[in-house]
Amino acid sequence: MIALLTLHLHIPGCKSLKEKRSRLKPLLTRLHKEFNISVAELDLNDVWQSTIIGCAVVSNNKAQAQRTLQIVSAWVEKNWYDMTIVDEKIELI
């Protein structure tokens, strides 16, 4: 079972791609370390104030994988103040 969380994030105040990367990289690193998940920027790579990131979990338990990704989404919303979740989607494969 593979579960994928796709988050569309708004990053207000970014004035360059370099600034966007400097604000996004700590989030990706922290998510990987905190939740032991795979994380990557998937789309909107050249847009200064938006990004789409993907978080993936592999598990033999569908409910556990989905619950983990719901916790990840809630954690980003609660703890990462300089970004806003525009949209989120969980897919189970």
Q: What would the pLDDT profile of 52-63 be if each residue is shown by its tens digit? A: 999 999 999 999
Structure tokens at 85: 């979740």
Which domain does 75 fall in, by range? Answer: 2-92
Structure tokens at 79: 């703890």
Looking at per-residue pLDDT, the higher value among 81 and 64 belongs to 64
- CB of 69 closer than 8 Å to CB of 3: yes
Structure confidence at residue 6 (pLDDT): 97
Q: What would the pLDDT profile of 10-55 be if each residue is shown by its tens digit? A: 999 888 999 999 999 999 999 999 999 999 999 887 888 999 999 9
Instruction: Count how many domains the chain has.
Output: 1
Beta bridge partners of 53: 7, 41
88: CATH: 3.30.70.1120
Beta bridge partners of 41: 53
